[in-house]
Amino acid sequence: MARMTMIEAVRSAMDVSMGRDEDVVVFGEDVGYFGGVFRCTQGLQAKYGKTRCFDAPISESGIVGTAIGMAAYGLKPCVEIQFADYMYPAYDQLTQEAARIRYRSNGDFTCPIVVRMPTGGGIFGGQTHSQSPEALFTHVCGLKVIVPSNPYDAKGLLISAIEDPDPVMFLEPKRLYNGPFDGHHERPVTPWSKHELGDVPEGHYSIPIGKAEIRRKGSALTVIAYGTMVHVALAAVEETGIDAEVIDLRSLLPLDLETIVQSVTKTGRCVVVHEATLTSGFGGELVALVQEHCFYHLEAPVVRVTGWDTPYPHAQEWDYFPGPARVGRALTEAMEA
Amino acid sequence: MDEFSRLSLHVPEPAVRPGDQPDFSNVKIPKAGSVPRPEVDVEPETIRDLAYSIIRVLNREGEAVGPWAGLLSDEELLSGLRHMMQLRAFDARMLMAQRQGKTSFYMQHLGEEAVSCAFRRALRKGDMNFPTYRQAGLLIADDYPMVEMMNQIFSNERDPCHGRQLPVMYTSKEHGFFTISGNLATQYVQAVGWAMASAIKNDTGIAAGWIGDGSTAESDFHSSLVFASTYKAPVILNIVNNQWAISTFQGIARGGSGTFAARGLGFGIPALRVDGNDYLAVYAVARWAAERARRNLGPTLIEYVTYRVGAHSTSDDPSAYRPKTESEAWPLGDPVLRLKKHLILRGAWSEERHAQAEAEIMDAVIQAQKEAESHGTLHAGGRPSVRDIFEGVYAEMPPHIRRQRQKAGY
């Protein structure tokens, strides 16, 4: 067991996968010689050679499109989009090609690709380095969508994603790359080495896609979150003293509906938290599912805490980003309703 | 007073419109046999002229002339003629089947048969095409069963795509034919990726990407050239310039100067223009490009200069945007008639044998159609199961799709 940051865990997942399977290739902008702008691929080119880990032209559609072709050949490409904000030029390839190749060819061709991308805000990244586009992927049948919240999950889930026979979007919350985050921007990030979730096995292990994890047991209320917001939610629960159950979804598509339903049926109250904008965000889907499956157990309306329906501002970032104070107010509101 | 007048936008227009006399005076056609044949390891900068000329083998008299001639035997040419005739007969029957309501949609190849049929001959088993909807000749020329193609067109119970795809969007890994997308140009960069994978694995297969003249305006076309050029991918990048992108003439995607082939020059990719209605020329150029790819010399860009005689699809009416007689005025002729004339000149064919072959081929197509229709058409007979809607989205069906399938009663 080693102490790893999420960056190291992600790198370790690719390292382990490339070591086990010669068909795994890694490429993207700056990922080869330099090792990626966040260093997630550092050392992979030196270890596996420049035909298995290499730099790509600045063409996101080209990166995903060539990955699809490689997958059709029989490789397992794991590509990096430098920031989730830059995946839009590749959206056509992802949604209309990668997601549908198995279906439209009745399995004659498949598309086992992984598209990694740093996502979310909280690092003063402004409008073009802070977005959370997960809802744009969860709306697409044929894709899988993963957002880990800690190094252990990041490695186990990324290994599963690389081994998965279908296309997987792997969104890495960059605010968590070096340590967990409690929502208070004035406090320094606590390194993962001080947390047990920074304990990551060095070898191969995997975490099944589609299974949520309960991060905190509770009986009064259910908080549903993923990625960075899991940590914000835990801080808010601690600060309000409400006995809330905190579910870390880990996988948004497929979704662990069973865990959600069991929890909300038990608690009768629910708060959904995500960084992405409110309108048509993934939170809307979660609320609809809770309403469909838990209506007769609900004692209060389900509350959403999200980013605002505006582009991500630079200077006002910490008023945009849902912190423990906003989540705490929502918890109290749900309890008092 | 400002020294500059106000700006105005230039919007290209074709030379003629419905009611006008067809005019192809802008298509500069060199003499057959006049374009040199470079070695496959040539420096791309030294053959820039090939992106502006047109490689032709068959002359007006039906003779095969020049340095690109002499590559195919009588037997090979006869089978090539048969492939083109089969594709034309297949198109005629399926067009009629669509008009009879047996399917929703069809796209024919009339006038462009030589492009895909001749190209297929330059490929080997294990190579992969990433085609558009107008390269069914790749399947016909590889002896893919016509019944299977028709099952797909009719979306019947034997449809290899289980009713999920538009008609003519075939798939066959075995025959090197990647599943077709209706989204334009996406497959072009995928072809480059496949070729890169083959090179990464030190394999021997090469890839071919296909695109129409209009779709070269898509950004994926340019991404493809960047990746192919950067990694020297063993890929043949084909542009079928049939003059029309539905109703939009090729000048809209190309602009007022240059050629589509010339787009490859800025990337250092050897770029050739070829007479797309000349079976021998298409084969010769495809073989040249394939040899380059197989020798690890990298990509080649080929523009096929041809003409879409038929409508874009069964949903299109070309008489609304171009002169009705334009196809007859097309200066590069009909690919079937040109090869037929050449074979007769060689003494390997005759008008009688041609008429007989036409009848035999049509009979085979009709027999295949009868068999396919026995498995159902879009609105009658056997159909794919409703259960097939839910299968195959993922390798393993996730719970939410299972719930929806159960809700639908399956």
Q: What is the pLDDT of residues A89-122, one digit of tens each?
A: 999 999 999 999 999 999 999 999 999 999 999 9
Domains parsed from chain A with CATH numbers: 2-200 (3.40.50.970), 213-336 (3.40.50.920)
Tokens of A236: 């808010």
Residue B296 lies in a domain: yes
**Residue B35 above 90 pLDDT?**
yes
Mean pLDDT, chain B, integer? 97
Residue in B130, B162, B194 nearest the CB of A70: B194
pTM: 0.97
Domain harbouring B82, CATH code: 3.40.50.970
Residue B260 lies in a domain: yes
Confidence (pLDDT) at B149: 98
Residue of A nearest to B178 (CA): A109
Note if A129 is an active site residue.
yes
Contact A267, A242 (CB under 8 A): no
Beta-bridge partners for B210: B238
Strands A2-3 and A199-200: antiparallel
Q: Which of A26, A66, A261 to mutate to test the interface with B (most CBs of B within 10 A)?
A: A66
C-alpha distance from A61 to closest chain B C-alpha (Å): 7
DSSP-H helix ranges across B13-127: 74-99, 113-121
CA distance B30 to B56: 8
Find the angle CA(A284)-CA(A138)-CA(A267) to the nearest 5 degrees. Answer: 45
**Of residues A52, A62, A254, nearest to B399 (C-beta):** A254
pLDDT tens, B258-279?
999 999 999 999 999 999 999 9
Predicted confidence at residue B257, as pLDDT, reads: 78
Helix (H, G, I), strand (E, B) or coil at A303: strand
Segments in A142-241 forming alpha helices (H): 151-163, 228-240
SS3 A151: helix
What percentage of residues in chain A have a pLDDT greater than 90? 97
Residues of A in contact with B219 (CB under 8 A): 61, 89
Q: How many H helices and E strands in chain A?
A: 12, 14
Question: What pLDDT was estimated at residue A112?
Answer: 98
Distance (Å) of CA B352 to CA B79, B207, B275, B363, B398: 17, 39, 28, 17, 61
State the pLDDT at residue A186: 87
Domain extent for B291: 44-311+326-379
Q: Closest-CA residue in chain B for A70?
A: B194
A-chain residue closest to B231, CA distance: A56
- The verdict on a CB contact (< 8 Å) between A57 and B223 is yes
Report pLDDT for B402.
Answer: 97
Structure tokens that stand for B85 in this block: 């005739």
Question: What whole-number distance in Å separates Cα of residue B146 and Cα of residue B138?
Answer: 12
Widest Cα–Cα separation across chain A: 59
Among A59, A71, A106, whose Cβ lies nearest the Cβ of B226?
A59
pLDDT surpasses 80 at B2: no
Q: Does residue B384 lie within any of the structural domains?
A: no
Q: Count Cα atoms within 13 angstroms, Cβ side, for B315.
A: 5
A68:B193 CB<8 A: yes
Over 70: is that where the pLDDT of B1 sits?
Answer: no
* DSSP label at residue B163: T
For residue range B192-208, list pLDDT tens digits in order: 999 999 999 999 999 99
How many alpha carbons lie under 13 Å from residue B131 in its C-beta half-sphere?
27
Beta partners for residue B123, in sequence order:
none
Question: From A96, which residue of chain B is nearest by alpha-carbon distance?
Answer: B183
Evaluate whether residue B403 is within a structural domain: no
B305, B54 contact by CB (below 8 A): yes
Query: Are B38 and B46 contacting, i.e. CB atoms less than 8 angstroms apart?
Result: yes
**Peptide bond before A112: cis, by omega within 30 degrees of 0?**
no
Give the whole-angstrom CA distance, residue B63 versus residue B54.
Answer: 17
Give the C-alpha separation, B59 to B177, whole Å.
Answer: 32
Helix (H) or strand (E) holding B208: strand B207-212
- A214-224 pLDDT, tens digit per residue, is 999 999 999 99
Is B282 inside any structural domain?
A: yes
Q: For residue B297, what pLDDT is reported? A: 98
- What is the pLDDT confidence band of residue A187, given thresholds at 50, 70 and 90? confident
Average pLDDT of chain A, as a whole number: 97
Burial class (CB in 10 A: 0-12, 13-18, 19+), A115: buried
- Name every chain A residue with its beta carbon within 8 A of the beta carbon of B394: 102, 142, 144, 165-166
B252 assigned to some structural domain: yes
Under an 8 A CB cutoff, do B399 and A57 touch?
Answer: no
Interface probe with B: pick from A60, A81, A106, most Cβ of B within 10 Å: A106
| pLDDT tens readout for residues A272-301 | 999 999 999 999 999 999 999 999 999 999
The answer to whether B160 and B167 have CB atoms below 8 angstroms apart is: no
Structure-block tokens of residue A296: 């007769």
Structural domain tally of chain B? 1
pLDDT attached to residue B26: 87
| Closest in A105, A142, A258 to B171, CB measured | A105
Q: Closest Cα partner for A233 from A165, A224, B229?
A: A224
pLDDT value at residue B382: 97
Compute the average pLDDT of residues A170-193.
93
Closest chain A C-alpha to B205 CA, distance in angstroms: 10
Q: Rounded distance, CA A327 to CA A305, Å? A: 6
Here the tokens at position B49 are 């002229």
In a domain, B388, yes or no: no
Beta bridge partners of A78: A26, A114
Q: How far is CA B307 from the centre of its chain?
A: 12
Residue B55 lies in a domain: yes
